Structure 1
């Protein structure tokens, strides 16, 4: 009896210790990470940035609930951007050829997986045709278009949207009952999230949409669930707006699922685009005509949205004008996950995690770009830029904030004091990378 009384006296204390330990463990648990990257989607397509052509209510709400970065820049094409965002390095260090990621590289998924994260990727791959490529680069589960297979079927129809052909963990599957790939891939990731919600997870969603061919979505008036896919590469640009809306709606679906599972305060959701909007799309942006600039190094080819939501952690409505480029994502994710980057990996990026928390951080004075589609130096476009100015390695100097189409190069001997100072800074940035590829 005495023993029972003694034990009953200590039970509340024991429970208190257990609850405190559980609370501390919850605080120490790194956040879940969902990284969403739309395909061929420039900043001019998003309402919160000033789009006059499209409605993006879910992304606008994401900005209102979290952070919006005004000056985020990608590479002008998908593979260069994907290599850069996944490795944290400028293409000058590790880019090989279009459609490939060198298997010697370490990605953000490799690092997060090694740190105990469950990992998955869904959407567009185009980074190597080896069957184990996604798993080799750190993704335990995958649902991908253009992994081992090509972009069209035997009849020449595009396989990426209606009744798509996708590869689930390296096994091809033809979804031929009226499915739309955006639904299939987002449902795959949602299932992954539901199954792994008890531990930290990393869900990477390089979306297939809004890349051409421009086609009807299931919300379009003339949607045809029996369509075998577009017979042409470009499709019809009049459907681009429908595709933007469907992309936005799908992101809303993912956010709603995170909220439904009670994970919104444990999950950071990041949205961006891999490069500018494709031609021949012309949008209205902040009251002016804004042509798609995919594959060009002008702002309409590289200026992309960056919206980040983490309820309870990021101050709602936070706006930031610091320079960000795709090399910055890997170090930011590692900061979020409290993962140390191995010293032998040469990271070019700078973490913007402090800015997410409303702190100054380490804002960049410049970003750098080494861009060539196939790795050849003949077509190389190399530049460094600040928010205001841009200097190409070939000598052209532009005030890009005003001259965003780069139509009027500035003469070096006619620069004012501010421009001369920036010119010198950007020259040093170019010099820093001059001998890496040689």
Structure 2
């Protein structure tokens, strides 16, 4: 039975002046950090993604959006609006493990369905542990799930999908297959809808996509070439993703497209194989540093005022925000509705909290612990290590730990304040 005591859901008019009953499309790119997007002045050698760049020109680009360091916890925060320490999903979910997301909690799909929306999730699931069956999505209100049930596909062109709660073999490039399914589903709707479209691109394995989806035709399609220099292949995968997103947009009739709010999100930092040391001694994906958790987030659509926002946003906030866009209101401590930002207002969130944990401890290369940012300062509490403090206003890549050369009175006060805020968040 769902635990509806975790939040209050009211079918009320939307709290923001977004037009009534817009469609909502959230698109998740798998393993795409800030350094991979031309919408942000971070990194170099980024992929050309004209359709996403057009969203950046017409929508809100969030400068301070954060996710979990890896796939599963980010998806769990969107699904429930709750931090991982509440749901138990703090790291990558393994089909052999017991840390899958419990369906006892009210889901985002429960909320939007209660607001009169048809809804679906197409693409990567990655929330089911060993105890879950192939009906796991339906337990969250996703009745027509189709996609990649586990974390990744070994081959983008030959993989296993779940459809009608059964496994089926697919011999189609997954980025294209997900897009085709989304086009068909959207075309069949005759009322307001919400679609969560979760691509597995550009997650490994790095490869050369079908030629018609990218322009990197000088790349060799060989394992040795990919292993020696994966970045251009990663970029080709992103360009292929953008091409298919453009095809999805073009498939909508003008009225549907004009009434659809598009949310584009990277689910965690870029793979460390392609960041080329941009973050210095710190890793990207898998770490609670900026490279692992600071992600692209763009929202565009009807009544959205174009611009760039410095408001703090985390992936838990997508729960309350999407609920608000569909006309429902939710009340829960971890999820802030940033809908007002879309029409020129501000979010109520004044801090960023990120975490990475599991009962078995970190896998090779992962960094466990939690971190909190408030204003310009960020406190990093890695499991088994001394606290670290950074001023992101002058040190956005966290090169200089302010506590490394001794702790001043001012720094001690900042650490105490941020630590106290973490204790309040976690109820400790």
Q: TM-score, normalised by structure 1?
A: 0.79
Aligned with 1:38 (options 14, 19, 29): 29
User: Paired residue for 2:109?
Assistant: 109
Q: CA separation of 1:91/1:52 partners in 2, compared to 1, >3 Å: closer, same or farther?
A: same
Alignment of 1:400-419 (within 5 A): 400-411=392-403, 413-414=407-408
- CA-to-partner distance for each residue in 1:360-416, whole Å, 9 max, x for gaps? 342x22111232145759974022112521113453222234334434322374265
Aligned with 2:339 (options 338, 353, 368): 353
What displacement does 1:301 show? 0.8
User: Paired residue for 1:138?
Assistant: 141
User: Paired residue for 1:429?
Assistant: 421
Q: After TM superposition, what 4+ stretches of structure 1 lie above 6 angstroms from structure 2?
A: 233-236, 288-292
User: Paired residue for 2:97?
Assistant: none
Q: CA separation of 1:81/1:98 partners in 2, compared to 1, >3 Å: closer, same or farther?
A: same
User: Paired residue for 1:384?
Assistant: 372
What displacement does 1:139 show? 1.3
Tell me the distance in 1 between the aligned counterparts of 2:112 and 2:201. 26
Larger radius of gyration: 1
SS in 2 for 1:35: strand
Aligned with 1:162 (options 151, 157, 160): 157
Q: Would you say 1:173 and 2:168 are equivalent positions?
A: yes
Alignment of 1:65-214 (within 5 A): 65-96=58-89, 98-99=92-93, 100-128=100-128, 129-147=132-150, 158-159=154-155, 161-176=156-171, 179-196=172-189, 198-214=190-206
What displacement does 1:29 show? 4.2
User: Paired residue for 2:292?
Assistant: 301
User: Paired residue for 1:336?
Assistant: 325
Aligned with 2:261 (options 263, 268, 283): 268
Q: TM-score, normalised by structure 2?
A: 0.81
Task: Identify, as 1 or 2, the structure richer in helix.
Answer: 1
Q: CA separation of 1:246/1:377 partners in 2, compared to 1, >3 Å: closer, same or farther?
A: closer
- Contact between 1:124 and 1:206, CA under 8 Å: does it hold in 2? yes
User: Paired residue for 1:21?
Assistant: none
Alignment of 1:50-61 (within 5 A): 50=41, 52-53=44-45, 54-61=47-54
Count of aligned pairs between the two proteins: 384
Gap runs ≥5 in structure 2: 1-17, 94-99
Q: Would you say 1:322 and 2:311 are equivalent positions?
A: yes
SS in 2 for 1:280: coil
Q: CA separation of 1:230/1:123 partners in 2, compared to 1, >3 Å: closer, same or farther?
A: farther
Gap runs ≥5 in structure 1: 1-26, 153-157
- Contact between 2:148 and 2:160, CA under 8 Å: does it hold in 1? yes
Aligned with 2:351 (options 366, 369, 388): 366
